[in-house]
Amino acid sequence: MVPVSHFLSWTVFPREVRRNLMQEFADNGAKHLVLTHTLIEEIMADSGYAETLQKEVADAGLSFVGAHAPFGTSLDLDVPFPRARSMMMQRHRLALEIVSSFGIDSCTIHVGNTPELFRGYSLADLYNNIVDALENLLPVAEQNGVTIAIENIWFPTNTPERLLALIEHFHSKYLGICYDSGHANLMAFDRNFTQCAPRSGYAGWGEVEWDDRILEKLLPEVITCHLHDNSGQWDDHSLPGRGDVNWPHVMGLLKQAPRLTSVQNEVNALAGHVSIASCCRRFDELMKL
């Protein structure tokens, strides 16, 4: 059995409200929370908050398992613009140090997407940027005892083949995969939506690389996972069961993942009007599949 860790929220709540939410998770049987990108960004802005946050989590009877680094066009590993790359590297180095200071052993980092403003670069250029970033960040990860988990999304930069090529390139125990069930479901097959996340992600970059065996391919290197649902069109981050992910299949495979150290609830509860109690109950059910 691996620990289940919950996203507290995707939104920065006032700290007084956040303490109440932590207690709600604990009262509904949760044991662990994810150190989210929003919390890491808050610590970057106010280093003194780290100690306060650790105390608040401990007071609720919880602990942090897993982390998610800040992400976005200028924060992902493939960003091609020199000044943005320099700041991106600094932020990820600091993020890894923050994650380590919380005693967390893995941090999910996005390799990057393919927005329109990157069109002047090739996929090979972007891939080389990712390699360069990891060459600089993996020594920091090793020094801090944190494994970097790179994530499948719905862009040509983060297909299973390209993620696994990075794993093969570095041969480092400090590099693994964060499997995202919702992203994999978007990419599983063409549902003939005129508009959908994969078609948007691949626009200007070629044909969508549909793949219904993403988890099977990534499984040997999966160290953590983001579990949530959708109906194959948009990245809804819905409660498992509210979309069409085949949960018995996903959970059955994850139980065979040799490197898996945590399961993360990445449901966007606020946007989906999902209670903390519902999240905790559903993830208890998932772990029994």
Q: From first to last of the 289 residues of the chain, give the pLDDT tens digit.
A: 899 999 988 777 888 899 999 999 999 999 999 999 999 999 999 999 999 999 999 999 999 999 999 999 999 999 999 999 999 999 999 999 999 999 999 999 999 999 999 999 999 999 999 999 999 999 999 999 999 999 999 999 999 999 999 999 999 999 999 999 999 999 999 999 999 999 999 999 999 999 999 999 999 999 999 999 999 999 999 999 999 999 999 999 999 999 999 999 999 999 999 999 999 999 999 999 9
> Is 198 in contact with 187 (CB distance < 8 Å)?
yes
Model pLDDT, residue 14: 86
Residues 6+ apart with CB under 8 A from 48: none
Model pLDDT, residue 201: 97
Model pLDDT, residue 235: 98
The residue count for the chain: 289
Model pLDDT, residue 137: 98
Nearest to 9 by CA among 109, 17, 114, 283: 17
Model pLDDT, residue 15: 85
Task: Dump the DSSP string for 84-121.
Answer: HHHHHHHHHHHHHHHHHHTT--EEEE------GGGTTS
Task: Dump the DSSP string for 145-171.
Answer: T-EEEEE--SSGGG-HHHHHHHHHHH-
Model pLDDT, residue 27: 98
Token pair listed for 48: 């003194």
For residue 222, the cross-strand partners are 177
Which SS3 state, helix, strand or coil, does residue 270 take?
A: helix
Model pLDDT, residue 31: 98
How many whole angstroms separate alpha carbon 186 and alpha carbon 58? 37
Radius of gyration of the chain (CA): 18
How many whole angstroms separate alpha carbon 84 and alpha carbon 104? 27
Residues 6+ apart with CB under 8 A from 62: 22, 25, 26, 30, 31, 32, 33
Model pLDDT, residue 12: 74
Q: Which fold has domain 4-286?
A: TIM Barrel (3.20.20)
pTM of the model: 0.98
- Amino acid letter, residue 246: N
